[in-house]
Amino acid sequence: MDLGIKGKRALVCASSKGLGRGCAEALAEAGVDLVLNARGAEALEATAAEIRSKYGVDVTTVAADVATEEGRAALLAAAGDVDILVNNAGGPPPGMWSDWDRDDFIAALDANMLAPIALMKALMPGMIDRGWGRVVNITSGSVKAPIPALGLSNSARAGLTGFVAGTSRQVAQKGVNINNLLPGIHATDRAASLDAGVSKAQGIDIAAATAQRKATIPARRYGTAAEFGAACAFLCSNQAGFIVGQNLVVDGGALNATI
């Protein structure tokens, strides 16, 4: 399928690896020029070089922490006018309700709610002026079914989801579509970290912890970054112009819900 976005320009956050990289590669395959961001410069430059070589698109890199004002300023200065924004950030660490204090919640909100909102506020006016834009926020299946050990993530991502629900319906008439992608368990560093936590807590090896979690997924496997990226690219396409303010779950059927 021709997604109709060749020649567009996208900013993809946290895109040196994992789900962010999957989204960047899918957009590059569709002919989209990229602005890639991550905190680690070395991994970011390696990813950019591979994408340039494989897809022949223009790739700009910005090593910065978008949870900070300085990081966002550097990223926005390099990005300029973009047609597509993919917001993404690693989730805060798991734990118990008794583990977290105010500073922990502020850090989670900065990374997983306030930073995406700040980038949307900065970039959507240009999209509105041009009459076309796409925003995809990578959140979590936990906004539909909260995960007890991920209370910080549950809180911050639910706040972002509420913001998108209202804002998406205010800008849709201007040709700008905002939607959220809710990943379940994918084969990324995040999954490995969570599996390690289960391994330690239950006194089992990593293979057993992974097998245990796979058994909870109807597809009986973890997702791949490539198939997640394909879902992102579709939401960024011309064909997705009538999809507004939705929360698309990509989790192999793990969330047992009708809505």
3-state helix, strand, coil split of the chain in percent (to 5) is 55, 15, 30
Confidence category of residue 232, pLDDT binned at 50, 70, 90: very high
pTM of the model: 0.94
Given a cut of 90, whether residue 90 has pLDDT beyond it is no
Burial class (CB in 10 A: 0-12, 13-18, 19+), 29: middle
Given a cut of 90, whether residue 60 has pLDDT beyond it is yes
Given a cut of 90, whether residue 194 has pLDDT beyond it is no
Q: How far is CA 233 from CA 69, 78, 191, 240, in A?
A: 28, 22, 22, 10
Given a cut of 90, whether residue 259 has pLDDT beyond it is no
Mean pLDDT of the region 158-176? 98
- The number of beta carbons lying within 10 Å of the beta carbon of residue 245 is 18
Token pair for 183 = 């990943």
Secondary structure (3-state) at 138:
strand
Mean per-residue pLDDT of the chain: 95
Mean pLDDT of the region 4-22? 97
pLDDT of residue 258: 81
- The number of beta carbons lying within 10 Å of the beta carbon of residue 230 is 17
Confidence category of residue 186, pLDDT binned at 50, 70, 90: very high
